[in-house]
Structure 1
Amino acid sequence: MVTMSEEALARRVHRVGALADPVRRALYRFVAAQPGAVSRDQAADGIDVPRHTAKHHLDKLVDEGLLVTEFRRLTGRTGPGAGRPAKLYRRARREIGVSIPARRYDLAGSVLADAVHRTLGGTPMRGALEEAAAHAAAEAVADLATAEEARAGETPVERTAAALAPYGYEPSVESEVIELANCPFDRLARDHPDVMCGLNREFLGRVVGVTGDGELEVEPRTPARESCCARVRRAGGAGAAPTRSAGVTCP
């Protein structure tokens, strides 16, 4: 079964887990609440802990990617005698999230925002959703190797499953059919099935169009619990639908 790599999941969990320590969490929240970068002494005073304790936890938060540092002279003076620049801490802009089961509401939001932007330019909503999903799919496969030597020995089914795994579909290959055990848009799909299932199938169809070498297509299916409303199979299989399937609503 192809899923998010254990290493990637472990990194995310470890980073979020860094905030389990109450002192570390308090320091993070203090730094995040400030309008600018703060020194070790300011952070220590802010939550009333010793300086050496603050330094240890602040540097740990930097190691985990939750804080970033910069160096600046707090006196405002320059030149000889101005003193060494102070090490300052501020919250990192990088987002770190863990969702179990995997959800990709960020992807859905990005596609929908892109679609709305396109409608402002005069594109009808259905066409805008198709174009936005196609754009997201192009980004999804952009990092895949396309050189023939890099793809040697990798089948279209394997390549497609690998492309979908980071997006939370939990693909598994059975007899040349890619079953998608998880819906990355579960809550939205339950509330707005016509919109989200159409968007989802358009996204899948576009990905498959690149990774499947014309050998695969998206087949609508009745989802069971949290599974996806589609699967990927060999083109021309019994009951298969065309690869581009926007506008097809959930059963």
Structure 2
Amino acid sequence: MTSDSTSLAAVAALSDDLRRSMYEFIRRAGRAVTRDEAAQSVGISRKLAAFHLDKLVDAGLLTTRYEQPGGLRRVGRTPKVYEPSALDVQVSIPQREPVLLADILIDAVLAETPGESAGEAARRLAGERGRHLGHTERAGLRGARLGPERALTCAQHVLERHGFEPSRDTPTLVRLRNCPFHPLAARAPELVCGINHAFLTGFLTGLDAPAVQATLIPRPGHCCVELGVPGAAGDQEAACGKDAPPESP
């Protein structure tokens, strides 16, 4: 899936009616299209078409090369042609990760064995996917020592990219304000939350952060998992105090 910034840039480029019409024309053409053809499709000048086509190229929606239309060899300058890129644009606010969940579930069905249910396979594969992500992030730290608070900071940055909307409530507690697997999690909470918990537990294992744990704490409107250091002084009181009702006088 594309990153948020890439997807938003693509959507912004297509917000212009002329660009969107040219882009749709090029997709329907089923072949590379010249600048003149794109201009004629929307009834504008070749120069104005070049401006809009370049915007679509900059946004990653089109690719360009130089070739003669129809593959014919002609005398003179070879024109630039445009065709759709492989960019897959998906925008969701708040961010969702249905592809990640779908990949895990498909792999689980394909890997299911007589001694392992699809749900068990899904949790196992989610853990493996999380460990791979953690290993990748750990490698980028070049062997630097990773204490609990630094591990949580690293986790914040990574999980922000995946749409969890992490919030550092205390130095040793990160709550996840968004469930990137919603609304699927609402349909099968035990299955999806179990996959999510296994994924985040695997991530911490791959990150080599044994002092930090992923804990299942379902709360309405939030992700079902939070990351923290068990028994950290003052953190449990601070976390509980946020949701606890005021004491009666």
TM over 0.5: yes
Distance in 2, matches of 1:71 and 1:121, equals 55
Root-mean-square deviation (CA, aligned residues, Å) is 2.8
Give 5+ residue unaligned stretches, structure 2. 237-249
Equivalent of 2:95, from 97, 102, 105? 102
Q: Secondary structure at the match of 2:210?
A: coil
Partner of 1:124: 117
Partner of 2:182: 186
How far does residue 141 in structure 1 lie from its aligned partner after superposition? 2.8
Q: Deviations over 1:105-132 (max 9, x none)?
A: 1211121122122128985313321232
**Given residue 125 of structure 1, which amino acid in structure 2 is its aligned partner?**
A
Distance in 1, matches of 2:25 and 2:186, equals 38
Equivalent of 1:160, from 139, 155, 158? 155
**Given residue 101 of structure 1, which amino acid in structure 2 is its aligned partner?**
P
Distance in 1, matches of 2:141 and 2:41, equals 52
The answer to whether the Cα contact below 8 Å between 1:73 and 1:83 also exists between their aligned partners in 2 is no
Q: Secondary structure at the match of 1:49?
A: coil
Q: Secondary structure at the match of 1:231?
A: strand
**Given residue 104 of structure 1, which amino acid in structure 2 is its aligned partner?**
E
Distance in 2, matches of 1:180 and 1:121, equals 35
How far does residue 168 in structure 1 lie from its aligned partner after superposition? 0.7
Distance in 2, matches of 1:120 and 1:11, equals 39
How far does residue 162 in structure 1 lie from its aligned partner after superposition? 2.2
The answer to whether the Cα contact below 8 Å between 1:189 and 1:196 also exists between their aligned partners in 2 is yes
> Which of the pair is proportionally richer in helix?
2
Give 5+ residue unaligned stretches, structure 1. 1-7, 241-251
Question: Are 1:47 and 2:46 an aligned pair?
Answer: no
How far does residue 101 in structure 1 lie from its aligned partner after superposition? 0.9
Q: Secondary structure at the match of 1:218?
A: strand
Seen in structure 2, the aligned counterparts of structure 1 residues 237 and 150 have a Cα distance that, compared at 3 Å, is: closer
How far does residue 58 in structure 1 lie from its aligned partner after superposition? 0.8
Seen in structure 2, the aligned counterparts of structure 1 residues 142 and 68 have a Cα distance that, compared at 3 Å, is: farther
**Given residue 205 of structure 2, which amino acid in structure 1 is its aligned partner?**
G
Aligned length: 229
What TM-score do the two structures reach when normalised by structure 1?
Answer: 0.80
How far does residue 217 in structure 1 lie from its aligned partner after superposition? 1.2
The answer to whether the Cα contact below 8 Å between 1:66 and 1:94 also exists between their aligned partners in 2 is yes
**Given residue 85 of structure 1, which amino acid in structure 2 is its aligned partner?**
T
Distance in 2, matches of 1:138 and 1:90, equals 38
How far does residue 171 in structure 1 lie from its aligned partner after superposition? 0.9
Partner of 2:80: 87
How far does residue 75 in structure 1 lie from its aligned partner after superposition? 5.6
How far does residue 182 in structure 1 lie from its aligned partner after superposition? 0.6
Equivalent of 1:111, from 86, 104, 110? 104
Seen in structure 2, the aligned counterparts of structure 1 residues 90 and 142 have a Cα distance that, compared at 3 Å, is: farther
Distance in 2, matches of 1:150 and 1:25, equals 50
Seen in structure 2, the aligned counterparts of structure 1 residues 51 and 228 have a Cα distance that, compared at 3 Å, is: same
Partner of 2:194: 198
How far does residue 45 in structure 1 lie from its aligned partner after superposition? 2.1
Equivalent of 1:221, from 192, 217, 222? 217
